[in-house]
Amino acid sequence: MGPHGANRGGSCASHAWATAESKDRTTARRVFGRANAALAYDEGGVAKVKGVVVLNVRAFVIAREGREAWERVLAALAPEDRDVLAGAIPVGWYDMSTYERIHRALIDTLGGGDPAIMIALGRYAAEQDLKTIHRLFLRAANPAYVLERAAEYWARFQDSGTWSIVREAPDRVHATLAGWGSEDEATCVRLGGYIQRLFELVGARDVVVQRPRCRARGDDACVFAGAWR
């Protein structure tokens, strides 16, 4: 992960990517992320997230519920978190803990305490990204391929976490996110919703994304198992 603020938004050459493949008759495994991300986080680094990801929460709430609803979310936050949001810019980097507290405020104020609203937020974020960041992915025929490409972009928006993706079958993929700086299940639920919608947007049907393991539940990594038709 490296020192926070160093080489952010730079070229792929500055990211120390790790990519590996192994193949047998049925599976192909690929690893994506910063090679030293998990190590730096374990040594006490503070995980960061890109401002555009944080600001997607505001855009989602206003689009879905209106500006008054966003004011309610803000009112549920501590003053220091409101100050962060007031000055947030898409290219800035912000503490993961702030990002997680915003999610919790959303759940409490608009979700009735149910983290299911995070699925809707993740799906919204995927739609926005495929209009801009990942628009070329719409040409892809296979959801597993799209997930691999999204994983390659991961370090542009999160400075912790390494993806390991296994294509278990033509219609199934197993993705492990190790060393992520989040241990909040709501944030993981959001990511599951994001992956589900990403698959749908490239033509997959009957998409199911399960989360059999999660760091928030004491597991060593977050795992997403996707299946589709």
Question: Which residue segments constitute the domains of the chain, with CATH numbers given?
Answer: 12-227 (3.90.1520.10)
Residues 125, 129: Cα–Cα separation, whole Å: 6
Q: Element (H or E) spanning 2, and its range?
A: none
3-state secondary structure of 9: coil
Structure tokens at 99: 């990002």
Q: State residue 183 phi and psi, 5-degree precision.
A: -125, 30
- CA gyration radius, the chain: 17
Q: What is the pLDDT of residues 121-139, one digit of tens each?
A: 999 999 988 876 656 666 6
Within a 10 A sphere around the Cβ of 25, how many other Cβ atoms?
4
Q: Please report, rounded to a whole number, the percentage of residues in the chain having pLDDT higher than 70.
A: 76
Within a 10 A sphere around the Cβ of 123, how many other Cβ atoms?
20
Q: What is the pLDDT of residue 41?
A: 47
Q: What is the pLDDT of residue 146?
A: 86
Q: What is the pLDDT of residue 40?
A: 42
Q: Is the distance from CB of 86 to CB of 51 less than 8 angstroms? A: no
Average pLDDT over residues 154-163: 95
Least confident of 6-20, 49-63, 81-95, 103-117: 6-20
